[in-house]
A and B are shown apart, each in its own frame.
Chain A
Amino acid sequence: MTVLQMAALTIVALGGLAMVATRDPVRQTLMMSLYGLALAALFFAFQAPDVALSEIVVGSVVLPLILLLTLAKIRGEAR
């Protein structure tokens, strides 16, 4: 295992912890986007660039976007 792979694993582990520790939904969504980016770096370090690309587009772009839109919708209803 290279230093890069170990660093990526450590960042993903810390990111997962941060995800769980975050409580506010908007912050959670942004955190998830960053976590998706960390996961993509991990996949890339483990020589899976195709999966890394999928992770970037789905995990850190589309899913957070849809969650943010949903949050905006829910807040609009709550007020």
Chain B
Amino acid sequence: MFYMSALAFAAFFVWGMLRLPAFGYYQGPYGDVINSFVVFERHATDAVTAINFDYRGVDTVGEEFILFASVTGVALLLRERRDESASEERARVAEGRAGQTSSGVKVLALAVAAPSALYGWYIVSHGQLSPGGGFQGGVIMASAAIFLYVSGEYLALRHMNPISLLELADAAGAGGYVVVGLAGLIASGTFLLNVLPLGTTGEVDSSGTILAISIAVGLEVAAAFVLLMMEFLEQTLEIRQRRRV
């Protein structure tokens, strides 16, 4: 049976491969059209970001809200139940875990945390000029918080109690995108049409709303991933705690 289906699969695979276009051959018109217009029309040198945050910006709104909805779902599913341990107990467990981190890991993670936050911000704000943009930069910014956790300073992170601030940032980022879109709708009757002045090509403020959207997405993604991580961590700590009792 296996050999029969493997043979049939091989036959179909080869048959399909024979009709593929040659390597590197591109026949669609859209890429060429965008490439010839993007620098002139949007003053953006990275066509991919211009497509994501401008030409097909409405799709990106949808994608952003997928992330927003899934993080909300995780927060809802992993919420603290009444019969689960108090946060003080949990903090003690975390303290015990923090004690096990080797000093080499601590130093390295702490040394990398701040530069990764800065690098994430650079990727967010330069999305229209070079590869990157709000999504990738947002995740890199969130990884700064992950480094803090790895360094064993998770308690310090918890003491700041950033959950409500993160939730606010998450919502503000998601809403900010829509606000930029609505500004275009109000100003000119088209959702997400550029309303900001275009600067010199090659500078950070060159491409109007693309930068604003990129920052909104970066804020939303960074907050969403830190929230996601904290929810999972809290859950893990809770279970360890319950095991001890």
Contacts and interface: CB of A to CB of B under 8 A. Distances in A.
Interface of A: 1, 49-50, 52-54, 56-58, 61-62, 65-66, 69-70, 72-73, 76-77, 79
| Majority-rule SS of B interface residues | helix
Interface string B127-146: 00001110110011011001
A76 B234 CA distance: 13
A73 B139 contact: no
A63 B3 CA distance: 35
Given A1-B23, A50-B49, A77-B239, 7 more contacts: A53-B132, A56-B136, A58-B139, A66-B232, A70-B232, A73-B232, A73-B239
A15 B132 CA distance: 25
Interface in B77-91: none
Contacts of A58: 139
A76 B240 contact: yes
29 contacts: A1-B23, A49-B131, A50-B46, A50-B49, A50-B131, A50-B132, A50-B133, A53-B132, A56-B136, A57-B135, A57-B139, A57-B140, A57-B143, A61-B146, A62-B139, A62-B142, A62-B225, A65-B146, A65-B229, A66-B228, A66-B229, A66-B232, A69-B229, A69-B232, A73-B235, A73-B236, A76-B243, A77-B239, A79-B243
Most chain A Cβ neighbours within 10 Å, of B136, B143, B229: B136
Ranked 3 nearest A-B pairs via Cβ: A49-B131, A57-B139, A69-B232
A33 B243 CA distance: 30
A23 B236 CA distance: 23
Contact of B136 (A53, A73, A76): A53
Contacts of A61: 139, 143, 146
A1 B24 CA distance: 8
B123 interface: yes
Contacts of B140: 57
A77 B236 CA distance: 9
